[in-house]
Chains A and B, each alone.
Chain A
Amino acid sequence: MKPSPERIFVVDDDASFRKSLSRLFRTHGFEIETFDSAENFLKIDLANRSGCIVLDVQMPGLSGLDVQEALAKAECTMPIIFLSGRGDIPMSVRAMKTGAVDFLTKPVDEEALLKAIRSAMEENRRYEGERARIEEARSRIRTLTEREYEVMRHVIAGKLNKQIAGDLGVVEKTVKVHRARAMEKTGVRSVAELVRLCTLAEVEPAQIAE
Chain B
Amino acid sequence: MGHGQKNISDRSFRSASPACLIDATMMIESFKDLSSEVAERFQFEALLANLSARFINLPADQVDGAIEAAQRQVCECLAFDVCSLWQLSADQPDTLLLTHYHVPRDFLPVPEAMNAQDVSPWSLEKVRRNETIVVARLTDTPPAAERDRALWQHYGMRSLLTFPLSVGGEATFGALHFAVIREEREWSPDLVGRLRLVAQVFANTLARKWTDQALREGEERLNLATAAADAGLWVLNETGTTFWINAKITAMFGLPPADEIPVDRFIALVHPEDQNRVQKVLTHALDTLDMTAVEYRVVHPDGSIRWMQSRGRLCRPARGGTDRLMGITADITERKRTELEANELRGELAHVTRLSTMGELAASLAHEVNQPLAAILSNAQAARRFLAAPDADMNAIRDILDDIVRDDKRASAVIQRLRAMVRKDMANTAERVSLNDLVREVEQLLNSELIGRSVETELRLSPTLPPVFANSVEMQQVLLNLMLNAMDAMQDQPAGQRRITIETVAENKSARVRVHDTGPGIPLEVMADVFRPFFTTKQHGLGMGLAVCRSIIENHGGRLWMENPTGGGALFQFEIPAAQELPAT
**Distance A17 CA – B373 CA, assembled complex (angstroms):** 9
Of the listed stretches B134-142, B145-153, B296-304, B363-371, name the one at the interface; the rest are far from the partner chain: B363-371
**Distance A110 CA – B371 CA, assembled complex (angstroms):** 16
Contact A24 B451 (CB under 8 A): no
A20 within 8 A of partner (CB) = yes
How many Å from the CB of B385 to the closest CB on chain A?
Answer: 4
A108 within 8 A of partner (CB) = yes
A58 within 8 A of partner (CB) = yes
B376 within 8 A of partner (CB) = yes
B374 within 8 A of partner (CB) = yes
In the complex, chain B residues whose CB is within 8 Å of the CB of A14 = 371, 374-375
In the complex, chain B residues whose CB is within 8 Å of the CB of A20 = 374-379, 382, 400, 403, 407
Contact B367 A86 (CB under 8 A): yes
B386 within 8 A of partner (CB) = yes
**Distance A71 CA – B363 CA, assembled complex (angstroms):** 28
**A17, A60, A88: the one within 8 Å of B371 (CB):** A17
Q: Which of A13, A27, A108 has most chain B Cβ within 10 Å? A: A27
**Distance A14 CA – B411 CA, assembled complex (angstroms):** 13
**Distance A27 CA – B385 CA, assembled complex (angstroms):** 7
Where chain B touches its partner, the secondary structure class is: helix
Q: How many residues of B contact A (CB 8 A)?
A: 27
0/1 string, B368-397, CB within 8 A of A gives 1: 101111111111011001100000000000
A40 within 8 A of partner (CB) = no
Question: A18: nearest residue on chain B (CB-CB)?
Answer: B375
Contact B452 A58 (CB under 8 A): yes
0/1 string, A11-24, CB within 8 A of B gives 1: 00110110111011
**B403, B448, B451, B452: the one within 8 Å of A16 (CB):** B403
In the complex, chain A residues whose CB is within 8 Å of the CB of B370 = 85-86, 105-107
How many Å from the CB of A116 to the closest CB on chain B?
Answer: 14
B221 within 8 A of partner (CB) = no
Contact B382 A106 (CB under 8 A): no
B406 within 8 A of partner (CB) = yes
How many Å from the CB of B369 to the closest CB on chain A?
Answer: 8
Contact A23 B382 (CB under 8 A): yes
**Distance A85 CA – B368 CA, assembled complex (angstroms):** 8
**Distance A13 CA – B450 CA, assembled complex (angstroms):** 14
In the complex, chain B residues whose CB is within 8 Å of the CB of A24 = 378-379, 381-382, 385
In the complex, chain B residues whose CB is within 8 Å of the CB of A21 = 375, 378
Contact A17 B378 (CB under 8 A): yes
A45 within 8 A of partner (CB) = no
Place the interface of chain A in its size category: 20 to 34
Question: A88: nearest residue on chain B (CB-CB)?
Answer: B363
How many Å from the CB of B498 to the closest CB on chain A?
Answer: 12
Question: A28: nearest residue on chain B (CB-CB)?
Answer: B385
Contact A106 B385 (CB under 8 A): no
A109 within 8 A of partner (CB) = yes
Contact A60 B377 (CB under 8 A): no
Given known A23-B379, A23-B400, A58-B452, contact A107–B367 (CB-CB < 8 A): no
**Distance A33 CA – B452 CA, assembled complex (angstroms):** 25
**A27, A88, A109: the one within 8 Å of B386 (CB):** A27
**Distance A83 CA – B371 CA, assembled complex (angstroms):** 11
Contact B371 A109 (CB under 8 A): no
In the complex, chain B residues whose CB is within 8 Å of the CB of A106 = 370-371, 373-374
0/1 string, A93-107, CB within 8 A of B gives 1: 000000000000111
A59 within 8 A of partner (CB) = yes
Given known A16-B406, A58-B452, A86-B363, contact A107–B373 (CB-CB < 8 A): yes
**Distance A107 CA – B403 CA, assembled complex (angstroms):** 16
0/1 string, A134-149, CB within 8 A of B gives 1: 0000000000000000
Question: A85: nearest residue on chain B (CB-CB)?
Answer: B367
0/1 string, A59-75, CB within 8 A of B gives 1: 11000000000000000
0/1 string, B398-424, CB within 8 A of A gives 1: 001001001100100000000000000
Contact B379 A108 (CB under 8 A): no
Contact B378 A86 (CB under 8 A): no
**Distance A83 CA – B364 CA, assembled complex (angstroms):** 15
**Distance A32 CA – B403 CA, assembled complex (angstroms):** 19
**Distance A16 CA – B452 CA, assembled complex (angstroms):** 19
How many Å from the CB of A178 to the closest CB on chain B?
Answer: 56
How many Å from the CB of A192 to the closest CB on chain B?
Answer: 52
How many Å from the CB of A64 to the closest CB on chain B?
Answer: 12
How many Å from the CB of A59 to the closest CB on chain B?
Answer: 7
Question: A27: nearest residue on chain B (CB-CB)?
Answer: B385
**B366, B374, B406: the one within 8 Å of A17 (CB):** B374
In the complex, chain B residues whose CB is within 8 Å of the CB of A27 = 382, 385-386
How many Å from the CB of A166 to the closest CB on chain B?
Answer: 58
Q: Which of B367, B371, B374, B377 has most chain A Cβ within 10 Å? A: B374
0/1 string, B246-261, CB within 8 A of A gives 1: 0000000000000000
Question: A83: nearest residue on chain B (CB-CB)?
Answer: B374
How many Å from the CB of B447 to the closest CB on chain A?
Answer: 9
**A28, A86, A88, A108: the one within 8 Å of B377 (CB):** A108
In the complex, chain A residues whose CB is within 8 Å of the CB of B407 = 16, 20
**Distance A28 CA – B386 CA, assembled complex (angstroms):** 10
Contact A85 B374 (CB under 8 A): yes
**B366, B403, B410: the one within 8 Å of A85 (CB):** B366
How many Å from the CB of B392 to the closest CB on chain A?
Answer: 11
In the complex, chain A residues whose CB is within 8 Å of the CB of B403 = 16, 19-20
Question: A114: nearest residue on chain B (CB-CB)?
Answer: B381
In the complex, chain B residues whose CB is within 8 Å of the CB of A60 = 451
How many Å from the CB of B398 to the closest CB on chain A?
Answer: 13
Contact A107 B374 (CB under 8 A): yes
Contact B377 A109 (CB under 8 A): yes
Q: Which of A13, A85, A108 has most chain B Cβ within 10 Å? A: A85
How many Å from the CB of B555 to the closest CB on chain A?
Answer: 35
A sample of 29 inter-chain contacts (CB < 8 A) reads A13-B451, A14-B371, A14-B375, A16-B371, A16-B372, A16-B403, A16-B407, A17-B371, A17-B374, A17-B378, A19-B403, A20-B374, A20-B375, A20-B377, A20-B378, A20-B400, A23-B382, A24-B382, A27-B385, A58-B452, A59-B451, A85-B367, A85-B370, A85-B374, A86-B363, A86-B367, A86-B452, A107-B374, A110-B378
Q: 15 additional contacts, CB 8 Å, given A20-B382, A85-B367?
A: A14-B374, A16-B372, A17-B371, A20-B375, A20-B378, A23-B382, A23-B400, A24-B382, A28-B385, A60-B451, A85-B366, A86-B370, A107-B373, A108-B377, A110-B378
- A interface residues with partner B (beta carbon < 8 Å): 13-14, 16-17, 19-21, 23-24, 27-28, 58-60, 83, 85-86, 88, 105-110
- B interface residues with partner A (beta carbon < 8 Å): 363-364, 366-368, 370-379, 381-382, 385-386, 400, 403, 406-407, 410, 448, 451-452
Top 3 A-B pairs ranked by shortest CB distance?
A85-B367, A106-B374, A20-B378
